[in-house]
Structure 1
């Protein structure tokens, strides 16, 4: 397998130094930035979504490095972007604000202090790591007056990845292709199944006298219609051998009195790899939980853990986040991105180093053909890549599993005995 070229633009060592007042001045005059005021910056790069990062204040003197600093998530440039900007420098703009991040009554709550620009030559970066800024930069053009200074490091590093594309929706048992430039070739096949072991047929000795059995059957059917269980995706290599699987081990059920899967009772998947010589012997590799978040934005919440030898209940959390149910998003395992998302993501036991994988997830009701990227350092053979394909299928299917129970599922996702299908 040949990887695709990727480049990571890293913005780190962020800190702010405010000018020292020569005499006490009222805050309202705008002459002094109070040291208790929170500060943040916005990073802008053309054709990319802007990013925001908090700025710790530095009290150091001269050009010494800041006592503490933060990092931004950075920007990921794929092969298409690199070809488009090849030979052309790009400009990173960093705007610094005082005040709290976000908007209040539709108006940005921060007050602009100043901005700096850093020119990045991507042509140089495609062959070797490069540093374009490392140190303090003055905010403002007036060199006579004291002004705030921003400390930042801007650098690039090579980040090649394997890229895969599902040929269809995971529940439709598609072929998975590896993408290399304009070339795509099949590398895996998927087989989706739902638990169809239960039968709707009546026993041969059923009679009108056995009304109790009929009521029991009706209650069982109603209960089954209020749970989503038994889903499984098998991943096969080109020879037809199973190399990975995603199995729903905890049913997705609505919380009492609601029609949604809650965080307090999430559904769960096990990501499995073959173990031993038997085709029926599997070993858990990861565990994915998913639920439907409440709040101003309807979201799919998820948490992924690596399974240790101590069992699935003692996993190492490496990713936890929420994505929009309406718009979908990117399921991502990336140390630089996830470390600020939750305390679980910063577990000292986490083996995550940089980018691991990313998988696209479409919004609810939309056709989803996940695009999967995997860092080359995490793939030593095709079976390793298959695990990430199985995980991508599981998070994509979780969008359907967490669909409100007042709405119908498509027929490919339903058990034979359920009527809650479109």
Structure 2
């Protein structure tokens, strides 16, 4: 592999520096670097970040290849600046055995656009009744460390306690989809003024908050780690903040769409805005932004949830829940957090690379941009601003809430261990 010289990039948004890649590693970082025969990437004015890591991606394979595959999903990831993604377990069959997680892991290795780390199911078939093969999945070639029934809540407190105790033995983490099922039967959107006016079944904030409160107490009781998926309410923020003040080992994520969009959009009855958990109020959005800025919420995770056209282009009640997000996540974070002054680019790197890699134990990812480190890198043109056109997405699905919306920033290059997966905005 030839050498690559990235010239004049603002590393983590700081001073302009050159970065020399030799093979799969960063050879040097400094000013005035040169290398005979190196491929030169002129990066003046652009921001260089460590490769992004997504702790919450739905790749759909096996079983729903009509909406996404490991290949198309990882191509979408590379387009969005990601070098590693964690694939959720709600596939068909469910990733609740060593065999299924190894299949997903090997598909990721074969395609090579980014590293794929499978997430194992907590319970057999996501049914919430019996623990899945947590130990076997951890000991498999996939080396699973994160377990989640995402899409469904582990609502049985005894099962949740047993899962937390089990993963403690090997330093794993349970990622909880916080949704009390009895409180959300028939729910279609956030419970509040808008749901009352539209006559749609309400999804109360307490359905999320009650599960988070229970699970942080269970984690404290057994001395284990719990991660909260797609936190979406101001009340949930306060519970996590309280838990961290007690020293409970809890981490939490927020999605880009919950940082930007509100339940007012549901007035259009456009199913593209139907998502789980639902879009909340402006008050919730502002609380989530502040919590991400102050570290109460640890990371941004996309919850990239692709669906085929027929599952979203229908009446609201029948539509599937979810949005694609890998290719727009960094732009939304720039819009809501950087351009508002709540985070600098070093803070973005912490929340979209360093910390998610730490939580998920993604080896070789979330590393500093310095000599000797793996060359997993993302170059961003932060001055760019343009309309989102899903026709150009690498994802197999187009269910984005941002179609036609103007957003800032564009990933121009992505390198996975020194190999370019995206060059000048085009997949290699």
TM-score by length of 2: 0.28
Q: Which has the larger radius of gyration?
A: 1
TM-score by length of 1: 0.28
The structure richer in helix per residue is 2
Q: Which structure shows the higher strand fraction?
A: 1
**Higher RCO (CA-CA < 8 Å; seq separation 6+):** 2
